[in-house]
Amino acid sequence: MKPFQTFDGLVAPIDRANVDTDAIIPKQFLKSIKRSGFGPNLFDEWRYLDVGQPGQDCTNRPKNPDFVLNQPRYQGAQILLARDNFGCGSSREHAPWALEDYGFRVIIAPSFADIFFNNSFKNGLLPIKLDAAELDVLFAQCEATEGYRLKVDLAAQTITRPDGKAIPFDVDPFRKECLLNGWDDIGLTLRHDDEIRAFEAKRRTEHPYYFA
């Protein structure tokens, strides 16, 4: 995983609650056995007017002009504004893979579904929970200002608006460290391999029926 660095990015809004992972990346693309290449199919059913197939070249597919990410002003967006319960539904990690592959690095919403929230951190995608009122301002500013950008500083835990206001956000210290350093979770966990082995040996003795 690449270390997460401070950046200034173009913002795009998805103004609807309960955006589920089926919408983020529909099921037919889950047949891939790779981790990459999902970007062209991000929000496939909203983004295109036809039904997409895995492996298809999306360049010439008919685009839905009403879908926000198809608007010229949002091309190259790296920060997504969203509403409550973003990423609900299926546990498919293809959802953060698709968002990351498309170019998003930060999703800001009042709340996220737990599994999606967790999956994002594993892929260098930072989900930020912000007060609904604070987000309303971002949605309004974004709508009103073409080329609206935000600066995200993970180390300082702030989002800075173009008007200079810095909005603080929370992040778990452990996840922050991992993201800032681009650490691999498995490598970190395996530093505790003696503890895991000891735990396992004790469990095997106390509860042998789990080790058939």
Stretch in the footprint of other proteins (CB under 8 A) among 22-30, 99-107, 144-152, 161-169: 22-30
Is 14 one of the binding residues for other proteins (CB under 8 A)?
Answer: no
Is 34 one of the binding residues for other proteins (CB under 8 A)?
Answer: yes
Is 91 one of the binding residues for other proteins (CB under 8 A)?
Answer: yes
50: left (phi over 0), alpha (psi -120 to 50) or beta: beta
Query: Minimal distance in Å, beta carbon 102 to other proteins?
Result: 18
For 32, residues 6+ apart whose C-beta sits below 8 A from its C-beta are: 38, 54, 94
Is 114 one of the binding residues for other proteins (CB under 8 A)?
Answer: yes
Is 123 one of the binding residues for other proteins (CB under 8 A)?
Answer: yes
Instruction: Look at strands 79-81 and 7-13 and give their pairing.
Output: parallel
Among 63, 122, 149, 161, binds other proteins (CB under 8 A): 122
The span from the CA of 180 to the CA of 163, in Å, is: 26
Is 115 one of the binding residues for other proteins (CB under 8 A)?
Answer: yes
How many chain residues touch other proteins (CB under 8 A)?
A: 60
From residue 79, give the alpha-carbon distance in Å to each of 11, 69, 72: 5, 12, 15
